[in-house]
């Protein structure tokens, strides 16, 4: 069993995590639990960080969506990843996702991987379609990318 960790040490480690990248409240809570923090300590740390705006789920969501959209991931994959990170406020997610043209992003992702020429053979179309689905684009976005 790990020796008990002081509150100040837990707070410092949590702050260090946030300086490296944004974390959702859910992620931070679980990382603190892994470090041996009690529920009371976690609550105190998270409340302080929220009050000082060091941890903000909306900001995390914006950064996460921006990062994954830039990597060529589609909205289906991004929504799923956000759920896994404890972000379930569908209104906020929907608002953030509306900022992007997912059809254009699907086209750009397809072009980056396979080149500008559109596939003419069924087998190649199916391969590119599966790739786009794997990247998290929905059916309409996949077909749009393969036809335009």
- Which CATH number belongs to the domain containing residue 20 in this structure? 1.10.10
Q: Kindly state whether residues 109 and 76 are assigned to the same domain.
A: no
* pLDDT number for residue 3: 67
In a domain, 16, yes or no: yes
- CA–CA separation, 93 vs 102, rounded Å? 14
| 2: in domain | no
Looking at the domain assignment, is residue 111 inside a domain? Answer: yes
What is the pLDDT at residue 2? 58
Do 107 and 142 lie in one domain? The reply is yes
Closest among 1, 26, 40, 2 to 11, alpha carbons compared: 40
pLDDT tens-digit profile, the chain (148 residues):
456 789 999 999 999 999 999 999 999 999 999 999 999 999 999 999 999 999 999 999 999 999 999 999 999 999 999 999 999 877 888 899 999 999 999 999 999 999 999 999 999 999 999 999 999 999 999 999 999 8
pTM of the model: 0.86
Q: Containing domain of residue 45, as a range?
A: 7-51
Instruction: Answer whether 78's CB lies under 8 Å from 97's CB.
Output: yes
Structural domain contains residue 1? no
pLDDT number for residue 89: 74
Calpha distance 101→69 (Å, rounded) = 10
* Predicted pLDDT at 4: 75
Q: Do residues 63 and 93 both lie within one domain?
A: yes
């Amino acid at each position: 069993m790990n020796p008990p960790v002081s509150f100040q040490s837990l707070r410092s480690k949590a702050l260090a995590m946030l300086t490296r990248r944004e974390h959702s409240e859910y992620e931070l809570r679980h990382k603190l639990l892994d470090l041996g923090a009690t529920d009371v300590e976690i609550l105190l740390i998270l409340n302080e960080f929220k009050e000082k705006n060091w941890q903000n789920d909306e900001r995390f969501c914006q950064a996460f969506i921006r990062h994954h959209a830039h990597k060529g991931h589609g909205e289906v994959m991004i929504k799923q990843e956000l759920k896994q990170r404890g972000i379930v406020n569908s209104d906020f997610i929907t608002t953030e996702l509306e900022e992007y043209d997912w059809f254009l992003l699907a086209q750009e992702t397809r072009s980056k991987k396979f080149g500008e020429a559109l596939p003419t053979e069924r087998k190649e179309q199916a391969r590119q379609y599966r790739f786009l689905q794997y990247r998290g684009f929905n059916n309409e976005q996949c077909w749009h990318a393969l036809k335009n």
